[in-house]
Amino acid sequence: MRIVEKSCPQEKYSAKCPYTRTPRFVVVHNTGNDAPAENEAAYMQRREEEVSFHFAVDEDKAVQCLPLDRNAWASGDGRGPGNMYGIHVEICRSLSGGERFTKAEQNAARLTAGLLKRYGWGPGQVKKHQDFDGKYCPHRTLDLGWQRFLNLVKAELERLNKKEEPKLTEAQVKEIARKEAQAVFAGEFARRNPTYDTLEQAPEYWREEIRLLLDQGVLKGSGKGAGGAVRLDLTRSEAKAAVLVARALKSRET
């Protein structure tokens, strides 16, 4: 389903959506006529009356016609919670019903699930116009069964969540664990066997021997490092071996 933006001209904000707010739930409506979503949106924006909604949905698209961080005049409760905090979704083609309406409702369920996901809401944050002023709206959705519509939303929400977190096979889980273990081991190994670039980085108790080996040209390092000093490029395990050899040779001399 496509979501098309048809922004409300700013000069109409004072009539259509004067208050900024953070939305708290979705409110579902039926338009009560057979017009497609584009027409519903255009008609709403054209008129001067304080009547408005955020989305009109038909069998092939959702048209967003107000910013979601602004209120709408849709649920007949004045400055009550419905108008002030709802994201109002009008389901089109509700007068005659039939296949177009069925598809529009399915699209509305998909749109609603997307909004729940986006705001981190649950199915409890899907309301009907009727909840706020008692009007029998969304009329055809109510005729067909409100719980049925909520189930459509839940199914769409599950589908969205599944899409994001594909189920892993046991082999994939083991592969991830193996890579994790490798990374930990590599880190641990580097920590236990650091590379010394300067004599000062080597442990003090080995420096004398390392200096001697450098002087004798046994250790050559790998070129000049910062400040012209020899770059040792010696791992801890190499340094240890070199020192042990140097000490062994020294004890033979004496």
Question: Which residue ranges make up the site for Zn ion (CB under 5 A)?
Answer: 29, 129, 137
**Smaller CB distance to Zn ion: residue 146 or 221?**
146
**Residues near 5 by Cβ (< 8 Å), separated by ≥ 6?**
63, 64
Cα 53 from chain centroid (whole Å): 26
**Smaller CB distance to Zn ion: residue 83 or 107?**
83
Closest contact distance (angstroms) between CB of 163 and Zn ion is 31
Structure tokens at 236: 């801890």
Closest contact distance (angstroms) between CB of 82 and Zn ion is 9
Structure tokens at 224: 């000049």
**Smaller CB distance to Zn ion: residue 110 or 140?**
140
**DSSP summary character for residue 80:** S
Closest contact distance (angstroms) between CB of 130 and Zn ion is 8
**Smaller CB distance to Zn ion: residue 29 or 127?**
29
The residue length of the chain stands at 254
Distance, CA of 90 to CA of 30 (rounded, Å): 5
Distance, CA of 179 to CA of 4 (rounded, Å): 43
Distance, CA of 151 to CA of 157 (rounded, Å): 10
Other CB atoms within a 10 A radius of the CB of residue 83 amount to 24
**Smaller CB distance to Zn ion: residue 29 or 140?**
29
Beta-strand ranges (E) seen in 108-222 are 126-128, 195-196
